[in-house]
C-alpha cells in the first residue's frame, strides 16, 4: 500500500539504513554525502513518502502520544482543559488520545488498560470516584501518570489541583466581611476529597470569624438527580433557617441549579440582600447573578502544568541514567473575583 523506506532504498540502490538516517535528519552526523542526501530527499518527496509511526514506535518504545481520561469531554470545564492540554502537548510533538469515563469506574479502568496496550507514553487522568485499581497498577509499574482535579493523597503520583480549601475560605470570608452571617453551603459527593477541602475552607472561615457552624445551613445534594434534589435541599434550608442570607456553592453546577430554584420560587437573588459565592464559573452567572463572587479555576495553568510534569516523568523514565522518580505536585491558586456587596 504505502511507500516505505525499502522502496526508496531499492529505487536509489541504497540501504534502508542510509535512507533512514537521511530522512531522520542524521545525514550530516553520519557523514552521508550531500549528493546522496539530496537524492534521498528528492525521491521521498517524489513518492510522497510518509513514515509509518507505528513501526517507529514499536522499535523505539516511544509513541509520542499521551492518553487523556476525563469524566466527560462534553463538560465545558474538561473540554477547555483538554484544549489546553492538547496545545501544550503539541508543542512538544505529542498527540492526544481521549476517552470519557462518564464517571463510571469500570469504564475508567478499561480505558486505562486500553491506553496502556496502545502504548501511550503517559496518561493524564481526572479520576472518578474513590476506586483506583488501575491507577494504582500504573503507579506501581512506574508508568508516567498525572492526576488532576481530584487526587489520592496517599498515592505516590504526580498531581495538579487547585487550592480548594484556600479559595473556599476566601470566598466565604468575603461574604462575612460584607456582613453576611447565615451562610449556607451547598455541596455534593462527600466522598470526594475535593469537596471535603471546600467544606473545610467554609468551616474555617466561619470559625475564624467566631460564627457558629449551623448544621441546618449544610446542604448536601447527591450527584444523581441533583436537579430535583437541590430543590428539596434548599426548601429544607429555608424552612429551618428562614433568615438565611447567603449561599456558598462548592461547584458552578450546583449554583446554576440553585439560581433556577430561586427564579422558580420568586426569590430575587439580585436585590442586594443576598450573598453569593461559587467555586468555578459559568457563562450564565454574568447574566443571572451578576453579584456572584467567583473563584475562577486556572484552566491554562492546570493544562500547562499537567503536561509539563507528565513530560518530565516520561523523559526521566526514558533515561536509563535517571534515578528513582520523585512525584511532583502543584496546587494552583484560583483567580478570585469579589463583588463589592
Partner DNA sequence: CTGAAAGCGCTTACAG
Q: Which residues bind a second copy (CB under 8 A)?
A: 1, 50-55, 57-58, 61, 63, 65, 72-76, 79-80, 82-83, 86-87, 90, 95-100, 113-119, 283-284, 287-288
Kindly state the smallest distance separating residue 137's Cβ from DNA, in Å.
17
Size of the site for DNA (CB under 7 A): 30
CA-CA distance, 139 to 155, in Å (whole number)? 8
CA-CA distance, 134 to 109, in Å (whole number)? 6
Closer residue to DNA (CB): 56 or 308 = 56
Which position has the grid cell 476566601? Answer: 170
Q: CA triplet 199, 203, 204: central angle to 5 degrees?
A: 115
Binding-site string for DNA from residue 50 to residue 89, where x marks contact by CB under 7 A and - marks none: -xx--xx-xxxx----------------------------
Which residues are 257's β-sheet partners?
Answer: none
Kindly state the smallest distance separating residue 282's Cβ from a second copy, in Å.
9
Kindly state the smallest distance separating residue 108's Cβ from a second copy, in Å.
13
Task: Report if residue 31 touches DNA, rule: CB under 7 A.
Answer: yes
Residues 6+ away with beta carbon under 8 Å from 232: none
114 binds, among a second copy, DNA, none (CB under 5 to 8 A by kind): a second copy
**Which runs of E-coded beta strand occur in the chain?**
65-70, 95-100, 122-125, 145-148, 158-162, 183-188, 218-221, 246-249, 275-279, 293-296, 329-332, 335-337
Note whether 248 and 218 are within 8 A (CB): no
Kindly state the smallest distance separating residue 59's Cβ from DNA, in Å.
4
Which residues form the interface with DNA (CB under 7 A)? 1-6, 13-18, 20-21, 23-24, 30-33, 36, 49, 51-52, 55-56, 58-61
Amino acid at each position: 500500500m504505502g511507500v516505505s523506506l525499502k522502496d526508496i532504498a531499492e529505487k536509489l540502490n541504497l540501504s534502508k539504513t542510509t535512507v533512514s538516517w537521511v530522512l531522520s535528519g542524521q545525514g550530516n552526523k553520519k557523514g552521508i554525502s550531500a549528493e546522496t542526501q539530496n537524492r534521498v530527499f528528492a525521491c521521498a518527496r517524489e513518492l510522497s513518502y510518509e513514515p509509518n509511526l507505528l513501526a517507529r514506535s514499536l522499535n523505539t518504545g516511544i509513541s509520542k502520544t499521551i492518553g487523556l481520561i476525563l469524566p466527560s469531554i462534553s463538560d465545558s470545564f474538561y473540554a477547555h482543559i483538554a484544549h489546553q492540554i492538547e496545545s501544550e502537548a503539541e508543542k512538544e510533538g505529542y498527540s492526544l488520545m481521549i476517552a470519557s469515563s462518564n464517571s463510571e469506574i469500570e469504564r475508567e479502568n478499561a480505558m486505562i488498560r486500553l491506553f496502556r496496550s496502545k502504548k501511550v507514553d503517559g496518561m493524564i487522568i481526572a479520576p472518578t470516584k474513590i476506586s483506583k485499581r488501575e491507577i494504582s497498577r500504573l503507579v506501581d509499574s512506574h508508568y508516567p501518570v498525572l492526576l488532576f482535579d481530584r487526587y489520592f493523597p496517599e498515592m505516590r503520583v504526580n498531581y495538579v489541583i487547585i487550592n480548594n480549601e484556600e479559595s473556599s475560605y476566601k470566598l466565604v470570608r468575603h461574604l462575612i466581611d460584607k456582613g453576611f452571617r447565615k451562610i449556607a453551603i451547598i455541596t455534593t459527593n462527600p466522598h470526594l476529597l475535593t469537596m471535603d477541602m471546600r467544606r473545610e475552607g467554609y468551616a474555617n472561615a466561619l470559625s475564624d470569624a467566631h460564627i457558629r457552624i449551623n448544621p441546618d445551613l449544610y446542604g448536601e445534594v447527591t450527584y444523581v438527580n441533583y436537579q430535583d434534589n437541590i430543590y428539596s435541599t434548599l426548601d429544607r434550608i429555608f424552612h429551618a433557617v428562614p433568615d438565611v442570607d447567603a449561599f456558598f456553592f462548592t461547584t458552578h453546577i450546583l449554583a446554576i441549579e440553585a439560581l433556577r430554584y430561586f427564579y422558580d420560587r420568586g426569590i430575587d437573588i439580585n436585590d442586594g440582600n443576598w450573598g453569593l459565592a461559587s467555586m468555578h464559573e459559568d457563562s450564565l452567572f454574568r447574566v443571572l447573578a451578576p453579584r456572584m463572587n467567583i473563584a475562577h479555576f486556572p484552566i491554562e495553568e492546570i493544562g500547562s502544568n499537567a503536561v509539563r510534569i507528565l513530560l518530565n516523568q516520561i523523559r526521566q523514565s526514558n533515561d536509563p541514567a535517571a534515578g528513582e522518580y520523585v512525584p511532583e505536585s502543584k496546587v494552583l491558586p484560583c483567580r478570585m473575583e469579589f463583588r463589592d456587596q
